A and B are shown apart, each in its own frame.
Chain A
């Protein structure tokens, strides 16, 4: 892995480009479903021009702070994610770092829900926190399984361990659980109760103008960071024929992101009480069995 100082400058624009592409793809799918002409990203312009809505006795510091924390954490989450052979910082604990930054979303959603001093956002913020462990535990075990297979928490080592066989081949359960838990951690469809229509728009209900844009951008960036991390953890990083490493990373990340966006449209929002039970009784034991299998393989080798 090559660490370069300009990698840190390049990371935010690359993530934003992926987020914009994902949002554009999403709006094209929406338009096709509705039979209307696609106008990707038109709402961005609208939000930039919109005036801020105010609520009585809002805690503006926490309200805005939550949205900003979401964007910052979503970008930092990719600091240890390699693009081909290039990485901003190949931390010795990159996998834990990624998870630590993802978890900031819990605090961010709760803060945005709390800050507006309005009932529906508050309820939705609490809902997300209540779901937190059901999302986080399977996610964490999926991450740990990949680290276990490589015997290292360094993302560079995880990529190197997949030189012969990609981890998705012998850890398919961990990969599937990872794909389910990434949109959950990013409260993206079909896990979007926190920002869902059933509670008047959830934490988004009172957000308007630039604040809303920042928060929604943060959510897209978090989804992109999750999709990008799937590539070094399970899909062999930048390895592939003909194309250079960075190009394979881009192609694979785009494929995972497109899959998540498409799947998010295929399924209706999953009710929290349904998913809670599935997470604890199906996903968590499945990831534990997968981790046990990987441990046995690692010990036997």
Chain B
């Protein structure tokens, strides 16, 4: 009973906050309306007894939305909403695409013959899910993880403005690095 109440409250809050993202006229408000929507969604995940996934969604989304607020404010022409701003562009096209995708997915949900199982729910569904997803593909996942990490490191190396040759000289023989700001270690 209380699960139903919490679910519907969170469902309404999630959709309401998601609508608010496109109705408010300030980038900061839009970002945190989106965060509210994500947190309401996380509570519905918690209702499925997926504690780790649910709490992780809260943790990651708070961090991501704060970072996103910084970037969105940076990129928007009118971040603070001091002039009328709209989050919606190409309204007709967007409406058609959104309706089409929604109908497609909703049809998929209703038409798919979902398997029914009489087996009791495992004690730790998150673990079962992880094993089902990765059990016999662990080497692939490990290689994938390394590849992703290497990509991140190389992106940062390519994007960085000043490398070690700028800091320690062409022969890397400076005792103290040349940095625009002082402070930190060994200076």
Residues of A within 8 A of B (CB): 57, 59, 61-62, 65, 91-93, 96-97, 99-100, 103-104, 106-107, 110-111, 114, 117, 126, 129, 132, 136, 153, 271, 273-274, 276-278, 281-282
Contact = CB atoms under 8 A, between A and B. Distances in A.
Given A274-B184, A276-B184, A277-B184, A62 B55 contact: no
Given A59-B26, A62-B28, A91-B51, A271 B63 contact: no
Nearest to B181: A273
Nearest to B65: A107
B46 to A, nearest CB: 10
B62 A107 contact: yes
A100 B59 contact: yes
Nearest to A97: B55
A57 B63 contact: no
Given A277-B184, A282-B185, A93 B62 contact: no
6 contacts: A61-B29, A65-B32, A100-B58, A100-B62, A153-B52, A274-B184
Nearest to A273: B183
A191 to B, nearest CB: 15
A278 B184 CA distance: 6
A100 B29 contact: no
A96 B26 contact: no
Interface string B41-58: 000000000011001101
B63 A278 contact: no
Contacts of A129: 66-67, 70
Given A59-B26, A273-B181, A273-B183, A106 B66 contact: yes
B96 interface: no
Given A57-B82, A126-B70, A281 B59 contact: no
B40 interface: no
B69 interface: yes
A117 B26 CA distance: 13
A106 B63 contact: yes
B80 interface: yes
B35 interface: yes
A107 B35 contact: yes
Contact of A93 (B35, B55, B67): B55
